[in-house]
Structure 1
Amino acid sequence: MATGQQIIKWFEEFSPKHLAMEKDPIGLHVGTLNKPVSKVMVTLDVLENVVDEAIDNGVELIIAHHPLLFKPLQQINPDTEKGRIVQKLMKHDISVYAAHTNLDVTKGGVNDAMCEALGLEVEDVLVETKRESLYKLAVFVPSTHENHLREALGDAGAGHIGEYSHCTFHSSGIGAFKPSENTNPYIGTQGELEKVDEVKMETIVPQSLLSKVLSAMEDAHPYEEVAYDLIPLENKGEKQGAGRVASLKNPISLKDFAEHVKTSFDVPALRVVGDLSKTIKKVAVLGGDGNKFISQAKRSGADVFITGDLYFHVAHDALGMGLNVIDPGHHVEKVMKKVVHDYLQTTFEENNIQTDVMISKANTEPFQFL
């Protein structure tokens, strides 16, 4: 069984906190992560029916996309829904952790999952928010363990350049060291100078994988003390940002594509702005409220913009600039539940962790369609 801290450490390797937009209230909202967790629940929203479901299923940690506490509470009053939610969570020792815009931005997150559900081929991010920082890792290892260490670093995500993986450069030399009386050296004798044929292995590591790669390095390296250098680089890393720009394999009309969106996201209705006869090939996608990004969607060359919560006057603006828009609602971000569930389940299995993970079945869609 893993602790909450370990679970969130693994989760943040997938959805790093540094990807979140400024002032986005992500992270731990209620409870503690310093406890064993036997069951995790993944949800889009933390409403009272979701908390009741968690209580009924013996859940100890909820991982949500939409933060429970967007604004600080002035009081915890059980006469209000928010107060009852917090009271129930505390009473039943259930912790709540939120991953919001960082889960939108991260590779394989909300927006990529929406594109996958629609059968789109992702080409670019819609709105660049940052470039991931890169580091050069140079580690010294006995030549006998060179291949083993290279595989471990590459498997952890180091050395990825474009479509190439496990990229390294090595140079050979002689490593020298004298073990003290407090050591248990893999090679050498206490108090005596030892010289070993070693390899200096160099590779590139993205910031989001730094902790994972260094941990893999420590595990794969035979020495008690690993000698390595970690150097920040000026090279530009992978572009990261909100939304995606993607394409359809076969162009279709806006009307037919809207029906496809409706079916793919399993929604009873959606709103469409534009000429239903227009041909759709290039698509901009942004889960949640995308009102402030219609100009970026237009500049991307997209034939249609898929987003939620479209405002009346923004719809007029889109119409005026010739941008078709499909609004299937905010709740389609529910695709994140399976993404996070599958990631955690795989991680637990790989680490032989006896912690269960479940998807919330409680309905958090506030709208009904008549």
Structure 2
Amino acid sequence: MKQANGHQVVQLLEQFSPKSLAMEGDPIGLQTGALNQKVSKVMTTLDVTNEVVEEAIEKGANFIIAHHPLIFRPLKSINLETNAGQIIEKCIKNDITVYAAHTNLDVARGGVNDMLAKALGLKDTKVLVQTYEDTYKKLIAFVPESHASEVREAITAAGAGDIGDYSACTFTTTGTGRFLPGDQAEPFIGEKGKVEEVNEVKVESIYLASLEKQVLKALKSSHPYEEPAYDLFEESIPGDSYGLGRIGKLNEQTTLGEFSEYVKKQLNVPALRVTGNPDKKIKKAAVLGGMGSKYYQTAKFAGADVYITGDVDFHTAQDAEAAGISIIDPGHHVEEIMKSGLACELRLRAEADGLNIEFLPSEQSTEPFRFI
């Protein structure tokens, strides 16, 4: 197992929750510290509080991944008499790096909203509020016949050629490649100053735009030429949809009252708020972690009988009830499901990459409310 640094921790996170998925203006990424320091233990948390930092110190974790950014609004100064200033000071003095994965982790497949949907047993889930579509592109590469198989294997291993339930999809045609190596060239085939003709194949494959960097890297590393020739084209084929919230079917029809009790148990909350008739039949539910009250109409139009989200205000609850969709508000803090879910996901990815990192979900509750 290899020793890791902060950059490698971020790379693991970026594999399934890239920054590109975040909502515009969301202050994700590095909050305090440095990414070049060695990391052996990473703590995952919903919020960064004094108690969470103390826990990290006690357990020897020098890297914290938080869902809610420690620095959400720009700071004009770091006042050590304020709570935020004291947390930042404690992190710096103890060499603890803090990194935030907020709306990118909400949107990501396998992220917060998928974790919540899974906990609630929703089936055949779809994105509730689309924020991003990963479009398809086509790669056409010109390769000498002797290296065609090697290039095909490399680009498909990087993700090219995945179409529905099929993978490694490519198309090949043969032809003749011609080129003139210049004085400074180091040609794999041919001589400087002499036009060369080579039997080549044209390898075609499609890929999701988000994979372009790794697909091109695979092409260039497997291609024998000093300057590989290739073309990239936009495709009109719909790509993968990403966004906030999930909507899906319940395992079986139930009532609003029974489902509310189920939500309470599954999300481990002492109480929740509900609108609507407890005897109302529920077949389909939508869930959006955090504060998602403004999307109740989206949930209604998508066919949801009930919408689970936090921080619902009085008038929105009234409007939703009048619109015929019930609301279950278990609070904002149910997003803490990400602590264990993210730690588990990163642990598996670190093991696959041979990195010696321990991932620890914080045991501290950052729920500010008490129910009496």
TM-score under structure 1 normalisation? 0.90
Query: What amino acid is the match of 2:73?
Result: K
Instruction: Report Cα offsets for 1:187-219 as digits up to 9, x if no partner.
Output: 678888765543322222223222233333344
Shift of 1:98: 0.9
Instruction: Report Cα offsets for 1:149-174 as digits up to 9, x if no partner.
Output: 43443343222233333222222233
1:325 equivalenced with 2:327 (yes/no): yes
Shift of 1:46: 1.0
2:61 is paired with a residue whose SS is: coil
CA distance in 1, matches of 2:265, 2:104: 27
Q: Which moved more, 1:302-311 or 1:28-37?
A: 28-37
Query: What amino acid is the match of 1:112?
Result: D
Which of 7, 22, 25 matches 1:23? 25
CA distance in 2, matches of 1:145, 1:174: 15
2:11 is paired with a residue whose SS is: helix
Partner of residue 245, structure 1: 247
Alignment CA distance shift 1:141-1:79 (3 Å): same
Counterparts of 1:275-354 in structure 2, within 5 Å, are: 275-354=277-356
CA distance in 2, matches of 1:219, 1:258: 54
Shift of 1:100: 0.9
Instruction: Report Cα offsets for 1:54-96 as digits up to 9, x if no partner.
Output: 2222223211111111111232222221111000111122211
Partner of residue 44, structure 2: 42
TM-score under structure 2 normalisation? 0.89
2:218 is paired with a residue whose SS is: helix
- Gaps spanning 5+ residues in structure 2: where? none
CA distance in 2, matches of 1:239, 1:26: 21
Partner of residue 56, structure 2: 54
Partner of residue 63, structure 1: 65
Counterparts of 1:1-370 in structure 2, within 5 Å, are: 1-176=3-178, 196-223=198-225, 225-370=227-372
Work out whether residues 115 and 122 of structure 1, in 8 Å CA contact, stay in contact via their aligned partners in 2: no
CA distance in 2, matches of 1:321, 1:334: 30
CA distance in 2, matches of 1:69, 1:122: 36
Work out whether residues 13 and 208 of structure 1, in 8 Å CA contact, stay in contact via their aligned partners in 2: no
Q: Which moved more, 1:302-311 or 1:16-25?
A: 16-25
1:274 is paired with a residue whose SS is: coil
CA distance in 1, matches of 2:284, 2:270: 24
CA distance in 2, matches of 1:118, 1:45: 23
Query: What amino acid is the match of 2:321?
Result: L
CA distance in 2, matches of 1:115, 1:5: 30
Q: Which moved more, 1:259-268 or 1:195-204?
A: 195-204
Shift of 1:184: 7.6
Work out whether residues 136 and 208 of structure 2, in 8 Å CA contact, stay in contact via their aligned partners in 1: yes
Work out whether residues 49 and 362 of structure 1, in 8 Å CA contact, stay in contact via their aligned partners in 2: yes
Q: Give the length in aligned residue pairs.
A: 370
CA distance in 1, matches of 2:179, 2:343: 47
- Percent of residue pairs bearing the same amino acid type: 51
CA distance in 2, matches of 1:228, 1:128: 32
CA distance in 1, matches of 2:252, 2:26: 37
Shift of 1:178: 6.9
Work out whether residues 172 and 200 of structure 1, in 8 Å CA contact, stay in contact via their aligned partners in 2: yes
Alignment CA distance shift 1:39-1:225 (3 Å): farther
Query: What amino acid is the match of 1:199?
Result: V
CA distance in 1, matches of 2:224, 2:368: 56
Work out whether residues 16 and 208 of structure 1, in 8 Å CA contact, stay in contact via their aligned partners in 2: no
Alignment CA distance shift 1:111-1:345 (3 Å): same
Query: What amino acid is the match of 2:269?
Result: V
CA distance in 2, matches of 1:197, 1:280: 64
Alignment CA distance shift 1:205-1:253 (3 Å): same
Alignment CA distance shift 1:278-1:351 (3 Å): same
Q: Which moved more, 1:290-299 or 1:171-180?
A: 171-180
1:18 is paired with a residue whose SS is: helix
Q: Which moved more, 1:245-254 or 1:154-163?
A: 154-163
CA distance in 2, matches of 1:134, 1:118: 32
CA distance in 2, matches of 1:360, 1:148: 45
CA distance in 2, matches of 1:259, 1:25: 35
Shift of 1:244: 1.3
